[in-house]
Amino acid sequence: MSSTTQMRPLRRTATRLVAIGAMTALAAGLSACATRGDSASTDDSKGREVKQIAIVAPETEADHGWNAQGLAGVKEAADSLGIKADINDNVGYDNTQTILTQVAKKGNDLVIAHASGFSTAADRANASTGVPMLAVTNEKAMVKGKVGVITFEAQQGAYLAGIAAAMTTKTKTVGIVSSADDINWYTMSGGFVQGVRSVDPSIKIVVAYIGSAGYADSAGGKKVASQVIAAGADVIIGFGDGATVGYVAAVEEAATPVKYIATIGSVDELVKDKSTILTTVSWNFGKTIEKAVKDVEAGTFAQDFYTLDVPNGGISLTDTDNMTAEIDAAVETAKKGIEDGSITVEKTKTKKEFDAFYDQK
């Protein structure tokens, strides 16, 4: 899920003069043009029937987060539309252009490239196959009619989680643990801080990172979560993918009670005691992918971003038995404020932006 942005190369198709007699040769020869892609390109403005969609994900659904929710979203959309889903997970981060191209050629009519680091590869795979690609996070990757992009207003959901954390903590200290240098993690971290401070600005917020790309590092996750707990945090929000396994282990093994806030996907299968899970900032891809499929068929694909946010239900806060009636009411009030625009949650996309915001008192 790295947020690397690369410049898209310019491609030109070869043109040729077709001689059909002296007069017609002049007319035909002047029709030469330069277009993106090769002979596989199609007129996407006319739309195409979608019978099968695919997802290419770097890890498996065992991460209980990014990959799990992406896979679930594709299956949900396919079931809703009555089409086939082609699941290609655990592909890693190498040779993605080759993998995306191969998947596109397996009879798929839309391919979801489920990591922001896949966006350049998605563009090139589309250029060589003509199959629409749906990338994630990297807004610069969008090519109208060809490469769509799913974007996230995840700071909105994290803001709601910050309210829940602030109203739950007894030590007046909460924690953020993060696995990687990732735009989505910084975005949610910023939203969480804003939510906490909207309830009580005096609450201490402790932040710890595994490293630049520790998405699947469960041992590192356990280490940083333990450090945050040792600093006094009794509520922790975790951004991790596979590192989540370590976060949950540290919470459950803590000497004093600690509540955990999951992100993107549920961790219910990981925990022995569900009383440790306060809530989850859930990302729901199904409806967004379904809209992208319908746009492909209508010839309106990738005219704008496909966004997950609180107002459209793409980002939500899960209710649990550990959320009191008072917390539920406060979260609902904030949710309505986000929906009607009376509450704006600032978006921090980089560590520099987050650090500057976090240091504000």
What are the C-alpha distances in Å from 76 to residues 11, 248, 301? 36, 27, 19
Topology given in CATH for the domain delimited by 154-283+324-358: Rossmann fold (3.40.50)
Q: Residue 135 pairs with which residues in a beta bridge? A: 149
* Rounded CA separation 167/361 (Å): 19
Domain ranges of the chain: 47-152+285-308, 154-283+324-358
Q: What angle do CA 330, 320, 324 make, to 5 degrees?
A: 40
Determine the CATH number of domain 47-152+285-308: 3.40.50.2300
Residue 34 is predicted with a pLDDT of 33
Residue 264 is predicted with a pLDDT of 94
Residue 43 is predicted with a pLDDT of 54
Q: Return the number of other C-beta atoms located less than 10 Å from residue 117's C-beta.
A: 21
Is the fold of 47-152+285-308 the same as that of 154-283+324-358?
A: yes
Residue 42 is predicted with a pLDDT of 52
* Rounded CA separation 77/288 (Å): 8
Low-confidence ranges of the chain (pLDDT < 70): 1-45, 361
Reading phi first (left if > 0) and then psi (alpha if -120 to 50, else beta), residue 360 is in: beta
Q: Return the number of other C-beta atoms located less than 10 Å from residue 113's C-beta.
A: 33
Q: What is the dihedral of CA 169, 346, 331, 200, to 10 degrees?
A: 40
Residue 63 is predicted with a pLDDT of 83
H helix runs in 130-169, sequence order: 154-166
Find all residues with CB under 8 Å of 172, minimum gap 6, and list them: 200, 202, 203, 204
Token duo for residue 81: 């539309």
* Rounded CA separation 269/256 (Å): 22
